[in-house]
Amino acid sequence: MSAIVSVRGAVKEYALGAVKVQALRGVDLEVGEGEFLSIAGPSGSGKTTLLNLIGCVDTATSGVVQVAGKDTASLSERQLTELRLNTIGFIFQSFNLVSVLSVLQNVELPLLLQRRFSGKERHDRVLDLLGRVGLADHAKHRPSELSGGQRQRVAIARALVTRPQIVLADEPTANLDSVTGENILALMRELNRTERTTFIFSTHDAKVMAHASAVVRIADGRVLGREAPAAAQAEGH
């Protein structure tokens, strides 16, 4: 299994006035292609910070972050944006859909930004994905007309529509009730299997971790270790 994400000695400092907060204190992490990896840790441990570095929306104070074989420190803002567009899909804790666009338009948006596909190709892909997340009937709806779980499904469809190599999800179930959260996780797991997409998601919910193929525990800005979850073992992985 080759590494699609490789973080070595990553340090992230935030300046809070005169005080410096070290959110990450030298993190090493390798993520293999096709993993369904959970990053677990208590609040303030640095999960979001780490995902931001991997997602190329933030830069490390020191250390190396490689995504899809590219050293992110060497890329320009424009190149980073392109990397995010073509290689990474994002699922946000609070869904972050564009409120004035329909479900279909929200999912289509990354494809429009790519400017690679014809209208028909885009349409086919969007409808296919909406079908797979179970929202084919809601294509014309606005996000405000959907439940939290449905919104997160739209967000998943949006994250996957470009067939990215990596999908990052920062506490994707934190704003959902536990049953809906379970369903969302199951959907992500299924797409991880069928599409061979690498998923990295953070959580501090043990039930959510149970879905992962591996769990990386962090605390206080450091990686404590990597383990296979009990559930995964039970499933025979």
Ligand X SMILES: Nc1ncnc2c1ncn2[C@@H]1O[C@H](COP(=O)(O)OP(=O)(O)OP(=O)(O)O)[C@@H](O)[C@H]1O
The single residue among 73, 100, 136, 230 that binds another protein, judged by CB under 8 A, is: 100
Dihedral (Cα; 46, 49, 69, 195), 10-degree rounding: 90
Q: How far apart are CA 228 and CA 216, in angstroms?
A: 9
Q: Which of residues 32-71 bind ligand X (CB under 6 A)?
A: 41, 43-49
* Helix 148-160 × helix 119-132 angle, to 10°: 130
Q: Are 157 and 127 in contact (CB under 8 A)?
A: no
Q: Which does 209 bind (CB under 5 to 8 A by kind): Mg ion, another protein, ligand X, none?
A: none
Residue 197: CB atoms within 10 A of its CB come to 21
3-state DSSP assignment of residue 15 = strand
The single residue among 46, 110, 181, 229 that binds another protein, judged by CB under 8 A, is: 110
- Of the pair 224, 228, the CB lying nearest Mg ion is at 224
Q: How big is the chain, counted in residues?
A: 237
- Of the pair 97, 191, the CB lying nearest another protein is at 97
Q: Which does 43 bind (CB under 5 to 8 A by kind): ligand X, Mg ion, another protein, none?
A: ligand X
Among candidate residues 164, 211, 157, the one with its CA nearest the CA of residue 56: 164
Phi/psi for 114 (5° steps) reads -70, -30
Residue nearest to Mg ion (CB): 48
Contacts of 89 (CB under 8 A, 6+ apart): 110, 158, 159, 160, 162, 164, 166, 167, 168, 197
The single residue among 21, 73, 98, 136 that binds another protein, judged by CB under 8 A, is: 98
Of the candidate spans 16-24, 143-151, 177-185, 192-200, the one that interacts with ligand X by CB under 6 A turns out to be 16-24
3-state DSSP assignment of residue 148 = helix
82 binds another protein (CB under 8 A): yes
Q: Report the alpha-carbon angle 4-8-12, nearest 5.
A: 110
The single residue among 38, 45, 48, 72 that binds Mg ion, judged by CB under 5 A, is: 48
Q: How far apart are CA 4 and CA 72, in angstroms?
A: 13
Of the candidate spans 73-81, 182-190, 198-206, 228-236, the one that interacts with another protein by CB under 8 A turns out to be 73-81
Minimum gap (Å) between residue 71 Cβ and Mg ion: 25
The single residue among 22, 61, 66, 93 that binds another protein, judged by CB under 8 A, is: 93
Binding site residues, ligand X, CB under 6 A:
14, 16, 21, 23, 41, 43-49, 204
Binding site residues, another protein, CB under 8 A:
48, 52, 55, 57-58, 77-78, 81-82, 84-86, 89-90, 92-94, 96, 98-101, 105, 108-110, 112-115, 158-159, 170
Binding site residues, Mg ion, CB under 5 A:
48
